[in-house]
Amino acid sequence: MPVSVLLILGMGAAVGFISGLFGIGGGFLMTPLLIFLGIPPAVAVATQSAQIVASSTTSSLNALRRNALDLKLGAILVAGGFIGSVLGVWFFAAARRAGQLELVIVISYVTLFTVVGSLMLKESIREFWTKRKGGSVRLRRRAGEHAPYLGWPLRVRFHRSKLYASVLPILGLALFVGFAGALLGIGGGFIMVPALLYIFRVPTTVVVGTSQFQIVCTTLVALILHAVANQAVDIVLAILLIVGGVFGAQFGSRAGRYLRAELFRFLLALLLLAVGLRFAMELVVHPDEPFSITVQESRV
């Protein structure tokens, strides 16, 4: 697949910039971009996981140094994420054999992005509105207020996260994120962070670090599994993406300090919706060439 080296580096840097700006992994942008560029979805997804490993290693190490990470909660998330990853890679291979991988990826992107994008858009518009009226929208934990599923069996106390909850919903969340991550080539931070914040009410200080820790571990497993089961990892492409992303992210996070938080979330929501719509187009528009060839087996 001949693709310009400079183009990939540039895209890596641009996506890195955005990911630094919003403090998210960037996989959700990079994988679609690679697919739109004409790189086979299988290769795009598998290779992008290498870039996610690199960028989340950086942020986990940062979080570790600032002590902004709940290792106990992280370990539970990793356990759930592993199972999700294995299932995700298995499903990926099965869909590929059936010739429907592209469809599965595109439909998942459309669903996930329109749902998460609209939720975020709604949230940010509401936030914007109440702020203008002078109200405060800070998340507050009221004593004795719990969602019912937090009281399920196997309750565990997480001191750093100020959380005393059943591990089952936490495992479930991690499993879902791991599955989606392996299937779509995303870290899943943009699902994990809001979920931990809004559903489990984990303090903001440890949310990002913990989520990044979970992403490193889960995506590492997904990356190796993708290489073994699907042989779709391209190490050269991965290095280009990583190098571009590393530099972009630094500038992005610097620029991010001058952006207001709610504007931030609003822009991110628009971005998600745009990518979702672009994928929906892919599904609906009449293809120029309805036929495609897949090599099932090569004999040398």
Partner 1 sequence: MRALLLLLVLCASLAPASAETLITSLSNHRVLITSNYTGTSIAVFGAIERDAQTVSRATAYDAVVTVRGPSQYLVVREKEQVGPVWINQEQQKFPIAPAYLGVLTSRPVDEITSPQLRQRQKIGLRAIIDSPEFTNTREGADRPFRDALYRLKEQEGLYLQDERGVTFLTPSIFRASIPLPATAPPGNYDVEVALLADTVILARTITHFELVKTGFEQQVGDVARDWSAFYGLATALVAVFFGWSANLIFRRD
Question: DSSP states of 111-166 as a string?
Answer: HHHHHHHHHHHHHHHHHHHHHHTT------PPTT---GGGGSSSEEEETTTTEEEE
CA dihedral 285, 286, 291, 294 (to 10 degrees): 0
Using CB under 8 A as the binding rule, whether residue 225 contacts partner 1 is answered as yes
Query: What is the amino acid identity at position 57?
Result: T
Task: Report the alpha-carbon distance of residue 262 to residue 265 in Å, rounded.
Answer: 5
* Count of residues that bind partner 1 according to CB under 8 A: 51
Kindly report the number of other CB atoms within 10 A of residue 95's CB atom.
Answer: 17
Alpha-carbon separation of residue 70 from 114, 141, 198, 204, 217 (angstroms): 30, 19, 17, 11, 14
Closest approach of Cβ 142 to partner 1, in Å?
A: 35
For partner 1, the binding residues in 13-72 under the rule CB under 8 A are: 50-51, 53-58, 61-62, 65
Using CB under 8 A as the binding rule, whether residue 104 contacts partner 1 is answered as no
Task: Report the alpha-carbon distance of residue 3 to residue 237 in Å, rounded.
Answer: 9
User: For partner 1, which residue of 18, 165, 220, 269 counts as binding (CB under 8 A)?
Assistant: 220
Asked if 85 and 182 count as a contact pair (C-beta separation under 8 A), the reply is yes
Q: Select the span of 129-137, 176-184, 268-276, 287-295 touching partner 1 (CB under 8 A).
A: 287-295
Q: Which is nearer to partner 1, 79 or 89 (CB)?
A: 89
User: For partner 1, which residue of 233, 268, 272, 275 counts as binding (CB under 8 A)?
Assistant: 233
Closest approach of Cβ 239 to partner 1, in Å?
A: 7
Using CB under 8 A as the binding rule, whether residue 6 contacts partner 1 is answered as no
Using CB under 8 A as the binding rule, whether residue 114 contacts partner 1 is answered as no
Q: Provide the angle, in degrees to the nearest 10, between the axes of the packed helices 5-22 and 41-65.
A: 40
User: For partner 1, which residue of 99, 147, 159, 259 counts as binding (CB under 8 A)?
Assistant: 99
Using CB under 8 A as the binding rule, whether residue 238 contacts partner 1 is answered as yes
What residue ranges bind partner 1 (CB under 8 A)? Answer: 50-51, 53-58, 61-62, 65, 99-100, 102-103, 216, 220, 223-228, 231, 233, 235-236, 238-239, 242-243, 246, 249-250, 283-287, 289-300
